[in-house]
Amino acid sequence: DEKSGRMVGNGTFLPSFGAGSYQLHFCVDFAGAKIHDTGVWVNNRAGAEPKQMYITRGFNLFYLEGGGFARFSPGPDNTVTARVGLSFKSSEQACGNAEREIPNPLKDFDRLVKTAKDAWREKLSPISVKPGGADKNLLTSFWSGAYRSFISPQNYSGENPHWDTGRPYFDSFYCIWDSFRAQHPLLTILDPTAQTQMVQSLLDMYKHEGWLPDCHMSMCKGWTQGGSNADVVLVDAYAKNLSSAIDWELALEAII
């Protein structure tokens, strides 16, 4: 947008370890300085007109580089704030995500930092440590590992462009031939609600894609390595009586 400087767009990408492709949409808003001009660029050429473009592979499948730009008049403190929203569905949803989470980009930074810290403290709250003779380095390694055990799979609820069951949706099972050994059994203890939603998401993948995944990322099917390790995740959840909300008959069908 020439007046506000808002940029929207999308790109098509290949998954890092799987088949197919996915689109990721973005929405960028700027604050803190007046817009001088905007435009687009491709390779080493740029201009204030046109305001839109479409880039695909060039001749001989060479990739072209390109994007949009915004230039600003000097502000009071020479600072420009950029708010970025993302979505797997559309640029409009990317803008909505950003507006909902960061309604006031110039004033929300400290609030966002506090919100993130509070969310992680709550997520890690089931864990407590009596260090005994453990030194600081060992405790740091322990908490770093605990923190990373919650990073992926990721909650992409409302962002799946392929189906919508009305339930939370998790993706980025990267990859189950590793995570079935320790991470998922750990999550049944530390975060049974999220683990239940992950199991339901695996079953949704089976229903809509025909197979339980051994790896799945960015809404794309991943490669298989070493068998169907999602079977172990389902059986572990069943043996621990994780949740009655899981369709165990469907789980048995998926395994068989």
The domain ranges of the chain are 7-117, 151-255
In this structure, what DSSP letter does residue 173 have? B
Locus of tokens 């992950």 = 198
Class of residue 7 by CB neighbours under 10 A (exposed 0-12, middle 13-18, buried 19+) = buried
Phi-psi region of 210 (alpha: psi -120 to 50; beta: other; left: phi over 0): left
Look at residue 75 in the predicted model and tell me its pLDDT: 80
Look at residue 43 in the predicted model and tell me its pLDDT: 86
Beta strand pairing status for 154-155 and 7-13?
unpaired
Look at residue 65 in the predicted model and tell me its pLDDT: 84
Tokens of 83: 């708010």
Total residues found in the chain within this entry: 256
Look at residue 60 in the predicted model and tell me its pLDDT: 61
Nearest Cα to 216, choosing from 253, 225, 252, 196? 225
Look at residue 1 in the predicted model and tell me its pLDDT: 79
pLDDT digits (tens, 9 = 90+) for 176-191: 999 999 999 999 999 9
Look at residue 100 in the predicted model and tell me its pLDDT: 96
Which residues, given as ranges, of the chain have pLDDT below 50?
none
Beta bridge partners of 25: 10, 87
Look at residue 203 in the predicted model and tell me its pLDDT: 98
- Please list, residue by residue across 120-146, b when 16 or more beta carbons sit within 10 angstroms of its beta carbon and e when fewer do: eeebbeeeeeeeeeeeeeeeeeeeeeb
Assigned fold of 151-255: Glutathione S-transferase Yfyf (Class Pi); Chain A, domain 2 (1.20.1050)
Cβ 52 vs Cβ 40: under 8 Å: yes
